[in-house]
Structure 1
């Protein structure tokens, strides 16, 4: 299997890379929605993230990546309860996937050959404690969307059919990518993404040349290219681990809370999820910067990705959501 393109070697697309790094620091931020043109590195960034993320500790035989043998589901019939390290799961959910493949179902082979009623885990089991990636997420079938909404809300996958009654943890960061020209995302699923970023093709020649140069080097001489960029990925991985450790101690003053609320009121965002996500994202960014407290700079940097997909449509305002957030940032957080 070919080693993914190094995360640090991706040219530009800083907001997309920042969003993915912040969800690695604090998965509680929620998922990342990446919308933009074809060929702008959306899928490349997700594959690169898999190689960048620190490994997790999990029970050797556990199909849901439990960190403790006591957390392994009974139906798994664990034999080897030793703890091992494995790469952070990054699981693809293809558009044509059936519900059985996503949630898991009766193991037909064991039922026919042994007469045993056993559960075969699905993609949600494999993605627990990791990332679930959906390319062309705006084209996902409605019944799969409904299923993902239920699991994202509860953090648990429940299968009740074919005589099975199965439950297992399914906590993952949802990463979706797509082209807005091919269809909009259902509002219910859109709201489940913590961050939303927009990517576009670079407009200046020098940037495009650098993209071509790096991709060409990766294709022609992958060993030397990876050797060149692996130290930078290792440095970024170390910063993520340090930020994870520092995150619980990062403070958010009443001024920061006031700024979050004032900005969301000015933008007319629905509910309180905007404020909570903005604060959580800014805190992760402060931890990444090794800062003891959330500042307005952190809020300004986090606001576009945390809020642009939560705005109500205003027929009297022709500006896009990013422009509206930027405009209110200039007024509320000058």
Structure 2
């Protein structure tokens, strides 16, 4: 049996958002390939960070899930199923499915570890001999987007848990010798204001991309943004309708890029130059190399190309590396000039 669930809350159209190209591109590439590792968005207050993140979630194609499953289990892909669903499917038993919008989960600053990861009912396990698990936010975010506003103010321990789950695609909860594991594959999006402090370099490095946004200074552009917001607030449905064709076109483009991605190739000579740039910038570890390769492929797929070109790498390299140059927590993040300078020398551009 198939049912369709609709999100009735009006969301500002992604294609109507003016400027903030770094943020928009980073989000698009991460939804094309969630293995890029998420995006950290740093910028001034009131620059539309939350609006843009909710808008990208609303743009994504609906997903098929097992009805009433707390982990949004995929009815076909074993890697995206809970153990219970996997057991049913492996026995060739049928499951009811529903179509839902891609989950968009907000993680509040005051969230506890139990709220994030979920809790095991030890008493029930001891008295009845069954594993009773209360899912947390990581379960709800599976196959969706997990958004943490003011992530730079979140406890480092919780940030570590989020990054571990985002990297592995799984969440494990252990208590009193009882262990429960469930899929937690999501795009992690963090945002914050640099005036309130940066994340430690060790944590920042684990975000795939880093986008900087600034308050628009051009008076004409500011007036346009204010007018747009006013029109949306006055009559959301009419405003959304104005952008329906652009929204459909972008949704189709993202969907096609997701399908094309596995076939995209990046030439060995370009991979060598990517690693040469990372080496010259003295980037710790290999995360930078891996993320650039993935982001470049996603960008090529987004442009409907099967082969990565130099321009694809040029477009995304600063976003993938600028936050990996910091070693001292007191240093500010480079705007991208160092990365661009080295890239120009290596790629002769």
Alignment of 1:213-252 (within 5 A): 213-252=227-266
Contact 1:106 1:162 in 2 (8 A): no
Contact 1:61 1:80 in 2 (8 A): no
User: Does 2:278 correspond to 1:264?
Assistant: yes
* Match of residue 92 from structure 1: 106
Contact 2:326 2:332 in 1 (8 A): no
Kindly provide the CA deviation profile for residues 183-206 of structure 1, in whole angstroms up to 9, marking residues without a partner as x.
110223212211100000112112
Q: Distance in 2 between matches of 1:99 and 1:273?
A: 26
* Match of residue 32 from structure 1: 39
Alignment of 1:66-145 (within 5 A): 66-68=73-75, 71-74=81-84, 81-106=95-120, 118-145=132-159
Secondary structure in 2 matching 1:44? helix
* Match of residue 207 from structure 1: 221
Q: Distance in 1 between matches of 2:327 and 2:210?
A: 16
* Match of residue 298 from structure 1: 312
Deviation at 1:153, TM superposition (A): 4.0
Unaligned runs of 5+ in 2: 1-7
The normalised TM-score by structure 2 is 0.87
Q: Distance in 1 between matches of 2:319 and 2:152?
A: 18
Q: Which deviates more, 216-225 or 79-88? A: 79-88
Deviation at 1:220, TM superposition (A): 1.1
Change (3 A) 1:294 1:90: same
Kindly provide the CA deviation profile for residues 226-252 of structure 1, in whole angstroms up to 9, marking residues without a partner as x.
100122111101000111111122111
User: Does 2:69 correspond to 1:62?
Assistant: yes
Contact 1:5 1:44 in 2 (8 A): yes
Deviation at 1:266, TM superposition (A): 2.2
Deviation at 1:164, TM superposition (A): 4.3
Q: Distance in 2 between matches of 1:247 and 1:181?
A: 37
Change (3 A) 1:320 1:149: closer
Secondary structure in 2 matching 1:34? strand
Q: Distance in 2 between matches of 1:110 and 1:11?
A: 53
- Aligned CA-pair RMSD: 2.6
Secondary structure in 1 matching 2:243? helix
